[in-house]
């Protein structure tokens, strides 16, 4: 920690000497481990240590940003000068600022010593267990593309010229598998995935079984005629829509009129079944931390309540523009980016029914296994058009497998069509959802 | 030498192989990035950065170990090499001597990309102005200029030592237009390799105009039809379809794991006779170009499919070794943080003999795709999707009206067999291709082609 402290202090001193009005240094040390197995053998083991510092320098009403993983004194000096130059080239923005000082709840720094102390052999065994569970589930599972155990640990040091000093460690572990099932010349794939902040909560068998069941149930899948169908989205699939929504719920997007939700605070924008919450202080989730990437303490923000838009996500910059306070959403993926507005742990609040209740309530619909092309959804217009695989629902029962059909629509229609929300809230990295029932949407096929 | 000396690297490789293994490699990198953004009429997000590090890879049988570190001092590299060797065998022996021969060496020592911040600022401002002038329906303009310079050095236990540099620039213009409650966007991008002469203010204005026009057309567009129909992909549409529908399935790791529909099909007909597919990183100045791949193998042109017959796959060193064939120079990685895997570079479907206008005239009813967006494929089944960024309905052999919200889905191997007309034009588009969590710069291209029957995802 001494060396890291020295780097952070040195950046702030250099910035002051160079004539900055204010400055911030964010040091991140990331350790990653990935163990990939296939055919009951080690395929790849990856170990990495990535560390560096990101420097924000404020000058005359704007700021510049630079990062460096060369921590030598020459490199740090050059980095501070480049950041200052960035501030000078940027147009004036009186709202650019550092957050106010505030207390932190350091118990939100989740660090599991089991993850750190478990041997490589035991971790490799976890990856092998994922694969074995998949192969044991059904004899038609013919191949594993890969089965993976991985873990990540972060050491954060954040300091600024207003006196902020914060340091903490977090870690988490997880795994995934991708398998192929074959029967009568037909080939289908299935995936399973889970990430947890504690090794004791990590269930490798469940990951393998999930992938196997998905692949096997899709065998014999075919396209169906173009029609309007109700959709049941299991938790993992539903979280992918939050990925599209998160960008639209950023205050920056709203302020710059590139969000469909701009000027709609206090209005009904979704069905009454929809409540969306962002919570960086939610214990036991992956993105939980004492503070966001610029030192605003983590908090719970109700973004939508029973379909009404209650709040956008703010960092201190967007908050200043509206004379409000940051919601603790100045997030950073690494030391290479400044704190941009983004979600922490964002989720659809759970309801009371079960996923099975949702399926049984559908006369004609589709239970969705997998979406393709989610990254092509347009976060500004809200239009999406996705490839879908799943199982047809007829009279409340799952009947035959479906592939090569498309789901097209707009995220606003999607939100308004959510009819019911189940109780099985589950998180996949930063996004969580229970199963959702979404009222008839167009499925394009033959 | 910039990063590590020959002697140091020889020691590092020997250290990595100390507990066994068939192959060791060290990849050293220093990369400078800078970017200038503009949004809401303001220059903002003027960012820069320096990232450095080394990745050490060890291959043993079918297994591999990859360790990376930001510490590129001689002692840091040795420590990482020891970590790799220990991860392999959990024991450590005395290193054996190893000698490297220098294959290529760039003398260039200064920062390579001298396209300064002031020029970048002029460029983004010109684009903003161009887009705002296009129409008063333009609500927001986002422009981003990025440059990336990489100095790399690759040494491996085959005795090769390669030094190289890459310099890539991109300009992206995003326009948001609105009319009543409808919001649509238009997008245009330009990318180059070791050449930034095309990044002029005139070009920035032209890109802004094109991307504003796309957004405005979409405001007028009707919802896309849904269902199965003939689809004409224009040459200017870019090669996303080829990239997704066929390219990924020809990457040797996917083939080697038996996860590709093209596994075991060498020498067999996998596409219509009109179809020839090529991957070529040696094309000058294209976004996916390079001189050496990220394992130090010289770049080469690879014919993948010739007149419908499958001829080759895309290989890195690891999979070439496992299959006993020559590497094709397609071992690429995003940075020292990643191990190299087989990747595409500039991939295209070669031009044919039919004039593009005739292809539309020959199509009674269908969809014309003038610009493709992103896409995705499941290589095991060959099922793909890709979005249509600019599309038109074809009626009676003529372009009738624009549509929005269309996405195409199909099966790669079936689509390639079905292609029944191939045009004389060839248009490139750039992109960042994602695989195994790594993004690498690519370009892809195709002439105007017709697929007699594809599922179009629209709204009923």
B371-430 pLDDT, tens digit each: 887 788 887 888 888 888 889 999 999 999 999 878 888 888 899 999 999 999 988 888
pLDDT, position A179:
96
List the one residue out of B16, B26, B19, B23 whose CA is nearest residue B63: B23
Tell me what the pLDDT averaged over chain B comes to: 89
Name residue, tokens 């939980």.
A288
Answer left, alpha or beta for residue B288, where phi above 0 means left and psi between -120 and 50 means alpha. alpha
pLDDT: which is higher, A217 or A61: A217
pLDDT: which is higher, A119 or B380: A119
Name residue, tokens 């969580």.
A432
pLDDT, position B181:
78
Which of B30, B80, B387, B403 to mutate against chain A (most A CBs within 10 Å)? B387
- How many Cβ pairs closer than 8 A exist between chain A and B? 233
pLDDT, position B90:
53
* DSSP, res B280: -
Record the tokens describing residue A281, joined without a space.
Answer: 């202080």
Split at pLDDT 50, 70, 90, the class of A288 is: very high
Which of B36, B49, B222, B403 to mutate against chain A (most A CBs within 10 Å)? B49
CB-based contact A435:A230 (threshold 8 Å): no
Contact B405 A408 (CB under 8 A): yes
pLDDT, position A361:
97
CB-based contact B67:B79 (threshold 8 Å): no
pLDDT, position B111:
46
Contact A387 B409 (CB under 8 A): yes
Split at pLDDT 50, 70, 90, the class of A166 is: very high
**Mean of pLDDT values over B283-287:** 90
Given a cut of 70, is residue B110 above it in pLDDT?
no
* DSSP, res B176: E
Q: What pLDDT, in 10s, does the model give residues B429-442?
A: 888 888 988 999 99
Split at pLDDT 50, 70, 90, the class of A140 is: very high
Would you call B73 an interface residue with chain A, using a CB distance cutoff of 8 Å?
no
Which of B85, B227, B381 to mutate against chain A (most A CBs within 10 Å)? B381
Name the H helices within B221-291: 240-242, 252-256
Using a CB-CB cut-off of 8 Å, the residues of chain B touching A87 are 46
What DSSP line would sit under A305-319, residue for residue?
ETTEE---B--HHHH
Contact B50 A68 (CB under 8 A): yes
Would you call A38 an interface residue with chain B, using a CB distance cutoff of 8 Å?
yes
A123–chain B nearest CA distance, Å: 13
Contact A65 B45 (CB under 8 A): yes
Would you call B432 an interface residue with chain A, using a CB distance cutoff of 8 Å?
no
User: Hey, what's the torsion of the CAs at B115, B120, B121, B126, to 10 degrees?
Assistant: 130
CB-based contact A166:A292 (threshold 8 Å): no
- Which residues of chain A from 291 to 330 reach within 8 Å of chain B, CB to CB? none
CB-based contact A398:A364 (threshold 8 Å): no
- Interatomic CA distance for residues B67 and B89, integer angstroms: 14
Given a cut of 80, is residue A138 above it in pLDDT?
yes
Q: What pLDDT, in 10s, does the model give residues B22-79?
A: 899 999 999 999 999 999 999 999 999 999 999 999 998 888 999 999 999 999 999 9
Q: What pLDDT, in 10s, does the model give residues A379-405?
A: 888 888 888 999 999 999 999 999 989
Element (H, E) at A133: helix A120-137
B82–chain A nearest CA distance, Å: 12
- Which residues of chain A from 366 to 425 reach within 8 Å of chain B, CB to CB? 372-373, 375-376, 378, 380-383, 385-387, 403-409
Contact A404 B455 (CB under 8 A): yes
Record the tokens describing residue B177, joined without a space.
Answer: 């237009």
Question: Nearest residue of A to residue B224 by CA position?
Answer: A408
What does DSSP say about strands A346-348 and A431-433: parallel, antiparallel, or unpaired?
parallel
Contact B259 A86 (CB under 8 A): no
Given a cut of 80, is residue A430 above it in pLDDT?
yes
- Interatomic CA distance for residues A372 and A380, integer angstroms: 19
Given a cut of 70, is residue A127 above it in pLDDT?
yes
pLDDT: which is higher, A3 or A234: A234
Contact B45 A48 (CB under 8 A): no
- Neighbouring C-beta atoms of residue B109, cutoff 10 Å: 8
Which span out of A142-146, A219-223, A311-315, B233-237 was modeled with the highest average pLDDT? Answer: A311-315
What does DSSP say about strands B421-422 and B449-457: parallel, antiparallel, or unpaired?
antiparallel
Contacts of residue B197, Cβ cutoff 8 Å, sequence gap at least 6: none
Contact A444 B44 (CB under 8 A): no
Split at pLDDT 50, 70, 90, the class of B95 is: low
What does DSSP say about strands B398-404 and B222-223: parallel, antiparallel, or unpaired?
parallel
- Interatomic CA distance for residues B101 and B99, integer angstroms: 7
Would you call B136 an interface residue with chain A, using a CB distance cutoff of 8 Å?
no
Using a CB-CB cut-off of 8 Å, the residues of chain A touching B52 are 69-70
Given a cut of 50, is residue B1 above it in pLDDT?
no
- Interatomic CA distance for residues B72 and A415, integer angstroms: 50
- Neighbouring C-beta atoms of residue A60, cutoff 10 Å: 12
pLDDT: which is higher, A395 or B112: A395
Split at pLDDT 50, 70, 90, the class of B107 is: very low
Q: What is the pTM of this model?
A: 0.90
Q: What pLDDT, in 10s, does the model give residues A225-267?
A: 989 999 999 999 999 999 999 999 999 999 998 899 999 999 9
ipTM, interface predicted TM-score of the complex: 0.86
Question: Quick one: what percent of chain B has pLDDT higher than 90?
Answer: 64
Contacts of residue A6, Cβ cutoff 8 Å, sequence gap at least 6: none
Q: What pLDDT, in 10s, does the model give residues B292-324?
A: 999 999 999 999 999 999 999 999 999 999 999
């Amino acid at each position: 920690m001494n060396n890291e402290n020295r780097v952070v202090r040195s950046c702030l001193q250099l910035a002051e000497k160079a004539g900055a009005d204010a400055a911030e240094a964010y040091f991140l040390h990331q350790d990653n481990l990935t163990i990939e197995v296939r055919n009951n053998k080690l395929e790849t083991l990856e170990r990495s240590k990535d560390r560096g510092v990101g420097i924000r320098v404020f000058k005359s009403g704007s700021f510049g940003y630079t990062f460096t993983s060369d921590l030598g004194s020459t490199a740090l000096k050059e980095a501070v000068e480049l950041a200052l130059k960035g501030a000078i080239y940027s147009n004036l923005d009186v709202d650019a600022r550092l957050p106010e000082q505030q207390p932190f709840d350091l118990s939100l720094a989740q660090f599991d010593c089991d993850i750190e102390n478990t041997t490589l052999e035991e971790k490799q065994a976890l990856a092998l267990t994922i694969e074995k569970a998949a192969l044991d589930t059904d004899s038609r599972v013919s191949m594993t593309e890969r089965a993976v155990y991985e873990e990540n640990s972060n050491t954060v040091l954040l300091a600024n010229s207003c006196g902020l000093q914060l340091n903490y460690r977090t870690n988490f572990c997880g795994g995934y598998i991708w398998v192929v099932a074959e029967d009568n010349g037909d080939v289908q794939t299935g995936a399973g995935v889970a990430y947890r902040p504690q090794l004791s909560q990590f269930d490798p068998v469940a990951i393998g079984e999930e992938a196997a069941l998905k692949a096997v149930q899709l065998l014999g899948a075919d396209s169906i005629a173009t029609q309007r169908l109700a959709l049941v989205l299991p938790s993992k699939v539903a979280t992918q829509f939050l990925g599209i929504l998160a960008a639209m719920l950023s205050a920056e997007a709203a302020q710059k009129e590139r969000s469909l939700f701009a000027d709609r605070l206090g209005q009904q924008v979704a069905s009454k079944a929809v409540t969306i919450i962002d919570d960086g202080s939610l214990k036991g989730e992956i993105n939980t931390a004492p503070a966001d990437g610029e030192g605003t303490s983590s908090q719970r923000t109700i973004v939508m309540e029973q379909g009404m838009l209650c709040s956008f996500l703010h960092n201190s910059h967007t908050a200043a523009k509206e004379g409000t306070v940051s919601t603790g959403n100045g997030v950073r993926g690494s030391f290479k980016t400044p704190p941009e507005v983004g979600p922490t742990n964002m989720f659809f609040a759970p309801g009371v029914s079960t996923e099975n209740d949702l399926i049984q309530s559908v006369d004609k619909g589709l239970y969705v296994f997998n979406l393709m092309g989610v990254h092509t959804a347009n976060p500004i217009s809200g239009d999406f058009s996705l490839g879908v695989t799943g199982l047809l629902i007829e009279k409340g029962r799952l009947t035959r497998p479906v592939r090569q059909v498309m789901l097209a629509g707009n995220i606003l229609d999607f939100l308004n069509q959510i009819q019911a929300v189940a109780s099985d809230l589950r998180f996949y990295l930063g996004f969580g959802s229970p199963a959702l029932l979404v009222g008839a949407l167009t499925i394009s096929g033959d | 030498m910039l990063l590590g000396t020959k002697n140091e690297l020889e020691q590092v490789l020997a250290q990595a192989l100390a507990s066994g293994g068939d192959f060791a490699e060290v990849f050293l990198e220093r990369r400078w990035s800078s970017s200038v953004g503009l949004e809401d009429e303001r220059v903002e997000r003027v960012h820069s950065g320096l990232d450095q590090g080394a990745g050490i890879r060890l291959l043993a049988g079918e297994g591999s170990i990859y360790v990376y570190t930001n510490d590129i001092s001689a002692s840091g590299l040795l420590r990482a090499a020891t970590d790799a060797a220990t991860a392999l065998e959990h024991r450590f022996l005395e290193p054996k001597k190893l000698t490297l021969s220098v294959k290529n060496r760039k003398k260039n020592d200064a920062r390579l990309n001298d396209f300064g911040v002031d020029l970048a600022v002029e460029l983004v401002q010109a684009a903003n102005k161009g887009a705002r002038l296009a129409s008063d329906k333009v609500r927001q303009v986002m422009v981003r200029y990025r440059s990336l310079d990489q100095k790399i050095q690759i040494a491996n236990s085959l005795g090769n030592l390669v030094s190289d540099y890459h310099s890539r620039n991109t300009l992206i213009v995003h326009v948001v237009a609105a009319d009543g409650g409808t919001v649509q966007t238009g997008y245009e991008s330009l990318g180059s390799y070791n050449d930034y002469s095309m990044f002029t203010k005139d070009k920035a204005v032209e890109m802004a105009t094109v991307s504003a026009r796309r957004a405005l057309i979409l405001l007028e567009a009707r919802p896309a039809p849904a269902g199965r129909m003939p689809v004409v992909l224009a040459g200017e549409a870019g090669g996303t379809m080829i990239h997704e529908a066929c390219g990924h399935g020809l990457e040797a790791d996917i083939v080697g794991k038996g996860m590709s529909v093209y596994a075991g099909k060498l020498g067999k007909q996998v596409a219509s006779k009109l179809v020839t597919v090529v991957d070529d990183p040696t094309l000058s100045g294209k976004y996916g170009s390079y001189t050496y791949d990220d394992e130090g193998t010289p770049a080469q042109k690879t014919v993948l499919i010739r007149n419908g017959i499958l001829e080759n796959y895309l290989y890195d060193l690891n999979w070439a070794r496992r299959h006993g064939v020559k590497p094709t120079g397609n071992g690429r990685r995003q940075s020292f943080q990643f191990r190299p895997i087989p990747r595409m570079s500039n991939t295209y479907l070669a031009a044919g003999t039919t004039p593009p206008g005739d292809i539309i005239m020959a199509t009674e009813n269908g969809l014309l795709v003038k610009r493709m967006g992103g896409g995705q494929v499941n290589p095991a089944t060959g099922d793909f999707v890709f979005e249509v960024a600019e599309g038109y309905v074809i009626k009676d052999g003529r372009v009738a009206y624009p549509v929005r919200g269309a996405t195409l889905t199909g099966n790669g191997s079936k689509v390639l067999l079905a292609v029944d007309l191939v045009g004389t034009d060839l248009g490139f588009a750039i992109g960042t291709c994602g695989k195994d969590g790594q993004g690498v710069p690519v370009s892809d291209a195709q002439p105007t082609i017709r697929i007699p029957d594809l599922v179009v995802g629209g709204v009923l």
